[in-house]
Amino acid sequence: MENKVNYALVGAFVLILGALLVGGALWLAAGGAFGKKYDLYLAIEDESVAGLNINAPVKYNGVDVGKVQQIQLDPGSPQRVNLLFAIERGTPIKEDTLAVLKTQGLTGIAYVELSGGGRLSPPLRAAADTEYPVIQTKPSLAARLENILGTVLSKLDSTSNNINAMLSEQNQAAFSQALADLASITRTVAARNAALDAGIADAARTFANTARATADLQPLLERLGKSAEAIEKMGNAVTRTSDRTGQMVDAVGAGVHRFSQETQPELERLLGELSVLASSLRRLSEQTERNPSGLLLGRKTVQEGPGEADGGKKP
């Protein structure tokens, strides 16, 4: 008796087993129960991210720590690009950690390089108004080179314009005239070569004489220095003498003041008495001249004349 095989059941079993195998493989590929866990971080780039693709590696000091999960323009500012990173949990992402775009080798494959993160810096946390922690970024090498080249090209352009302005027709004519004047001066100097040589020789002799005169002046300067010291000593002596003279004058002034206060009244009385004596002597002299005998005989009484007895009054 032949066994009948249910091919439908076998097919269903094979399909279910294949699906389980595929699902297990995908689950294991995604990490599974024993796989790595990732945290999401956001980085905002102000430059082009050309060459950077989804699942591009994210490295921390050269070590793979995650991948780029999402790339999109910032809705609020299209000049910026939002990059969402899936980074292995436990990676030390700090507040001072920086993200920069780099290219790998000559292939031009772009990736994200993380650096920084001080030992004492706190871990990076999401702000109250953001969904993910935001990693700070810095310009890539290509962006820095582009800025430098732009600056250099701008300066070269400015320099080129200045050179063109310097090489204008007017400046060329002026330069040609200057060269002609220089040639004329050169010919004049060459024609007067002998006179210039004689002048240089005279100047050398003058310098030599000046050097000798300077050597001769050295003793004179020393003597002048000694004379200045002697004059200084004399000035000090005069100063001391002036001080003593001032003290003497002060003493004499005090004596004169005291003499004026004590002697002046007596002198004034003496002068008054001398004045009275002089008046008396003058009257005596006048009387002697009128009547010399009166000095020996005395003064005679003059008799009254007629009419003087009654005081000169008429009847």
How remote is the C-alpha of 202 from its chain's centroid? Answer: 49
CB-neighbour burial class of residue 93 (10 A; exposed 0-12, middle 13-18, buried 19+): buried
pLDDT at 42: 93
pLDDT for res 307: 57
Range of the domain at 197: 188-241
Q: What is the pLDDT along the chain (315 residues), one digit of tens a residue?
A: 456 667 777 788 888 988 888 887 777 666 554 567 889 999 999 888 888 899 999 999 889 999 999 999 988 888 899 999 999 988 889 999 999 998 876 666 889 999 887 888 899 898 888 889 999 999 888 888 888 988 898 888 888 888 877 777 777 788 788 888 888 888 888 787 777 778 888 888 888 888 777 777 777 677 777 777 777 777 777 677 767 766 765 665 666 566 566 666 777 777 777 777 777 777 777 776 666 655 555 555 545 555 544 544 443
Residue 89 within any structural domain of the chain: yes
> Does 206 map to a domain?
yes
pLDDT of the residue at 246: 65
Chosen domain end from 201, 219, 241: 241
The 10 Å Cβ neighbour count of residue 132 is 16
Domain count, the chain: 2
Q: Are residues 54 and 133 in the same domain?
A: yes
Q: Of 103, 118, 138, which marks where a domain is finished? A: 138
Q: Closest by alpha carbon to 39, among 89, 93, 83?
A: 89
C-alpha closest to that of 99 among 134, 150, 64, 145: 134
Residue 138 makes CB contacts below 8 A (sequence gap 6+) with 98, 99, 100
170 is a domain residue = no
Residues near 29 by Cβ (< 8 Å), separated by ≥ 6? none
Query: 132 and 210 in one domain?
Result: no
Could you give the CA distance from residue 55 to residue 38 in angstroms, rounded to a whole number?
Answer: 13
Measured between alpha carbons, how far is 115 from 118 in angstroms, rounded to an integer? 10
pTM above 0.85, yes or no: no
Would residue 50 count as lying in a domain? yes
Would residue 273 count as lying in a domain?
no
Q: Give the pLDDT of residue 291.
A: 64
**Pair 46, 130 in one domain:** yes
- For 147-186, letters b (16+ CB in 10 Å) and e give eeeeeeeeeeeeeeeeeeeeeeeeeeeeeeeeeeeeeeee
Assigned domain for 74 exists: yes
**Token pair belonging to 196:** 């210039």
Please check whether residue 182 lies inside any domain of the structure: no
Q: Which of 199, 220, 241 is the last residue of a domain?
A: 241
Contact 89, 39 (CB under 8 A): yes
Residue 292 lies in a domain: no
- Cβ neighbourhood burial of 99 (10 Å; 0-12, 13-18, 19+): buried
**Pick from 142, 112, 135: nearest CA to 52:** 112
